[in-house]
Chain A
Amino acid sequence: MKFRLWKKAVRMSMRERKTFIVFTLMYTVLIFMTSFFMESVIEEFLANNLTFTSVVPLLVVILAAIFLTLLYAWIIVRRNRKIWATLKCIGWTKGNVTQLILGYIFFTTLMGLFIMVEFLFHWVAILGYIQAEYVPGAPVSGLPLIKLWAVLFTILIFLLVQFIGYMGARGRITKVRPMLALKRVGE
């Protein structure tokens, strides 16, 4: 049953095309920036060169990711209040509704991750192709834009951010009363 709500969330989020595309692109950019700064911070840490100013950009993008997740949850709840009220009215619990909203956010984040990883793969593929053509024998180790471990670390952080999105959505959904479903348009 729980998996069913996730599946439906994927379908419903994709049908809200404009919101889905805008937030997927924002997540893609944020995930890219987080991976980028993550790599430099960890490399500086390993080299014993880490300073507070070099950590600031990473903190900023992680905070931006948290803000974006909460904003997305807020927009989904706010824009579709009557839908959530109707679902509560016809028998969905607030846990069911929260799960559907979390499904929206989680799927959008996954799409952002997917696009970024695809971009990184294609970057290496294109550069590798050109290099093989014009600089045969050159090492390929410098081609990846961001190292794999930084990307994996970023994925972990974005999965943790989903929990904050869950808490945010749950808090807001609790305030949507099922009685709202009975209000007429314009009331």
Chain B
Amino acid sequence: MPIDRDTMIEVIDVNKEYRMAGAIIHALVDVNLSIKSGDFVMIQGPTGCGKSTLLNVMSGLDLPDSGKVILDGENIARAKEDRLSRLRRQKVGFVFQDYNLISTLTAMENIEALLWPTVLSSKEIENRAIAALRDVEMLERKDHYPVEMSGGEKQRVALARAIVSKPRIIFGDEVSGNLDPESETMIMELLKKINEEYETTILIVTHRESVVKYGNVVVKMDKGRIKSVK
């Protein structure tokens, strides 16, 4: 099948099962999905519908049992772990619900950490981290530790970490799940800005109706299947 250059991710006939307490759970059933470069995608559905599994499979965190996942032109469905790690470093950014910042590192160091294993010079890493912190309006807090920040501020630092490597796509798992409405708006506005300014593809898994309006593509899932794409 020829790959459309404008397609960021192509999920083809993907199936994924889990065994839990002896029972087989069909997390993804014959899933097909195509996401264009520059899309802002919201994946919605009830708890246990398979949306997080789909995010794991699309980002190379988990492998499908069958089918193909083409990320930016490369089939990652059977890639080795280290190859997937490098691919994520080069092309993918992550934002987590629990922020996942390292408590013993400052905001600046948390962002730089993504680039430590690269061949970039320390000065270049510092410059990139400063630019990312400026983008999320957190430059004045660069020397603060996570414990000294609010939830919204931590998520902004996590967002800066996600963009520091200039990824082609950012995956977010319930990014506003732990935030108050004001912080949620700020984070979603920042994601929208990143999507528009850098043409970064954004893919967010959420169950919150309040954030769905930010996406230009809304994928609804239920029982491991895609119900609709609008």
Q: Are A87 and B61 in contact (CB under 8 A)?
A: no
Q: Are A5 and B105 in contact (CB under 8 A)?
A: no
Asked whether A1 and B105 contact (CB < 8 A) given A90-B89, A92-B85, A178-B61, the answer is no
Taking CB atoms, residues of chain B closer than 8 Å to A177 are 61
Q: Residue of A at shortest CB range from B92?
A: A91
Total cross-chain contacts (CB, 8 A) = 79
Kindly identify, within residues 170 to 226 of chain B, every residue whose CB is under 8 Å from any CB belonging to chain A. 173-174, 177
Q: Are B98 and A90 in contact (CB under 8 A)?
A: no
Q: Are A92 and B96 in contact (CB under 8 A)?
A: no
Q: Are A16 and B104 in contact (CB under 8 A)?
A: yes
Q: Are B119 and A90 in contact (CB under 8 A)?
A: no
Q: Are B88 and A179 in contact (CB under 8 A)?
A: no
Asked whether A90 and B161 contact (CB < 8 A) given A1-B117, A181-B100, A184-B97, the answer is yes
B127 at the interface (CB under 8 A from A): no
A47 at the interface (CB under 8 A from B): no
A83 at the interface (CB under 8 A from B): yes
Identify which of A29-37, A93-101, A111-119, A143-151 touches chain B. A93-101
Q: Are B116 and A91 in contact (CB under 8 A)?
A: no
Contact with B along A54-93 (1 / 0, CB 8 A): 0000000000000000000000000000110011111111
Q: Are A1 and B118 in contact (CB under 8 A)?
A: yes
Taking CB atoms, residues of chain A closer than 8 Å to B173 are 182
Q: How far is the CA of A60 from the CA of B177 in the complex (A)?
A: 52
Taking CB atoms, residues of chain A closer than 8 Å to B94 are 89-90, 181
**Minimum distance in angstroms from A95 CB to a CB of chain B:** 7
Taking CB atoms, residues of chain B closer than 8 Å to A181 are 94, 96, 100
A12 at the interface (CB under 8 A from B): yes
Contact with A along B106-138 (1 / 0, CB 8 A): 000000011011110010000000000000000
Q: How far is the CA of A92 from the CA of B165 in the complex (A)?
A: 13
Taking CB atoms, residues of chain A closer than 8 Å to B92 are 91
Q: Residue of B at shortest CB range from A174?
A: B81
Interchain CB contact (< 8 A) of A5 among B88, B102, B116: B116
Taking CB atoms, residues of chain A closer than 8 Å to B117 are 1, 5, 91-93, 96
Q: Residue of B at shortest CB range from A86?
A: B100
Q: How far is the CA of A182 from the CA of B118 in the complex (A)?
A: 24
A138 at the interface (CB under 8 A from B): no
Q: Residue of B at shortest CB range from A183?
A: B98
Taking CB atoms, residues of chain B closer than 8 Å to A178 are 61, 85
Q: Are A86 and B96 in contact (CB under 8 A)?
A: yes
Q: Are A90 and B88 in contact (CB under 8 A)?
A: yes
Asked whether A88 and B102 contact (CB < 8 A) given A181-B96, A182-B52, A182-B173, the answer is no
Q: Residue of B at shortest CB range from A181?
A: B100
Asked whether A4 and B82 contact (CB < 8 A) given A90-B114, A91-B90, the answer is no
Contact with A along B56-73 (1 / 0, CB 8 A): 100001100000000000
**Minimum distance in angstroms from A21 CB to a CB of chain B:** 15
Q: Residue of B at shortest CB range from A179?
A: B61
Taking Cβ atoms with an 8 Å cutoff, the residues of A that contact B are 1, 4-5, 8, 12, 15-16, 82-83, 86-96, 177-179, 181-182, 184-185
**Apart from A4-B122, A83-B100, A90-B88, what are 5 other A-B pairs with CB-CB below 8 Å?**
A1-B116, A86-B96, A90-B89, A96-B116, A177-B61
9 A-B residue pairs with Cβ-Cβ distance under 8 Å, sorted by A, are A4-B122, A89-B61, A90-B162, A91-B86, A91-B92, A91-B114, A96-B117, A182-B173, A184-B177
What are the 7 closest A-B residue pairs judged by CB atoms, nearest first? A91-B89, A15-B104, A96-B117, A86-B100, A91-B88, A93-B85, A93-B82
